[in-house]
Amino acid sequence: MKIINVIGSPRSSGNSATVAQMLLEKLPVEKAQVRTFQLNRLNYRGCQGCMACKTKFDHCVAKDDLTEVLEEIRIADVVVIGTSVYIGEINAQTKGLCDRFYSYYLPDYLTNPRPGRLAPGKKLVFILSQGNPDPNAYKDLVAKYTGFFDRLGFTNVYTIRVLGAMPFSDVRIAESVLQSINDTAHQIFVGV
Ligand SMILES: Cc1cc2nc3c(=O)[nH]c(=O)nc-3n(C[C@H](O)[C@H](O)[C@H](O)COP(=O)(O)O)c2cc1C
């Protein structure tokens, strides 16, 4: 089982990265090969809108540190993406990666009922951490991005949310989040 862990938050030991690590620690290690990318340490640009992935190629032609990340995600069984909520959106580093995910869409993605290039069977865990303790705040982000990941071709998309975690506070993972981590780990690794 090939697992790609993408730390989207610039805080590599922050809430979203910690939740991802706790999830990964529940893996049957002998059966899993985990590779972690910290987006904040990589050099890359967002999508350039060149449309080469829709006209001449089946992949993103931009050559930078995301080239490898995009290829690794393409061949992974499980992808974990952690992000903080910044100014009501996923943080910029993660958004840059998601824009480049446009290359996973087929040329006829607007009309194709299966618009994504990703092979069936992939699982994605989307971890969002926010300062606001209200679960209704930014639930639009969950709906928007899980829908987007679904259309790219991820077969199962799981979300884990951390609420009320401010950047100047110590990382403390609440009991309810621990439960979500356990539930998600079970759903991902059942039968592995
Ligand atoms: C630049 C910046 C913008 C933020 N904007 C929001 C926001 O709009 N809404 C919110 O609830 N929290 C906001 N926060 C708080 C973070 O989302 C919160 O601390 C989150 O838990 C950080 O996740 P991390 O520990 O994984 O980096 C912001 C923090 C920073 C530094």
Mutation probe of ligand 1 site: the residue of 9, 16, 130 with most atoms within 8 A of C-beta: 130
Query: Which residue, by CA, sits nearest to atom 8 of ligand 1?
Result: 87
Q: Where are the domains of the chain?
A: 2-189
What was the pLDDT predicted at 168? 87
**Separation of CA 118 and ligand 1 centre (Å):** 30
Report field, pTM of the whole predicted structure over 0.75 = yes
**120-138 pLDDT, tens per residue?**
999 999 999 999 999 999 9
Is residue 92 scored above 60 in pLDDT? yes
The closest-lying atom of ligand 1 relative to the alpha carbon of residue 137 is: 11
The DSSP 8-state label assigned to residue 88 in this structure reads T
Contact 148/89 with Cβ under 8 angstroms?
no
Contact 26/69 with Cβ under 8 angstroms?
no
The closest-lying atom of ligand 1 relative to the alpha carbon of residue 171 is: 25
Contacts 24+ apart (CB under 8 A), 135-143: 135/161, 135/163, 138/85, 138/88, 141/85, 141/88, 141/89, 141/90
Give yes or no for residue 87 CB within 6 A of ligand 1: yes
Please give the distance of CA 29 from its chain centroid, rounded to a whole number: 21
**157-175 pLDDT, tens per residue?**
999 999 999 988 889 899 9
CATH assignment, 2-189: 3.40.50.360
Span 10-37, average pLDDT: 93
Reduced to 3 states (helix: H, G, I; strand: E, B; else coil), residue 48 is coil
The closest-lying atom of ligand 1 relative to the alpha carbon of residue 166 is: 19
Is residue 46 scored above 70 in pLDDT? yes
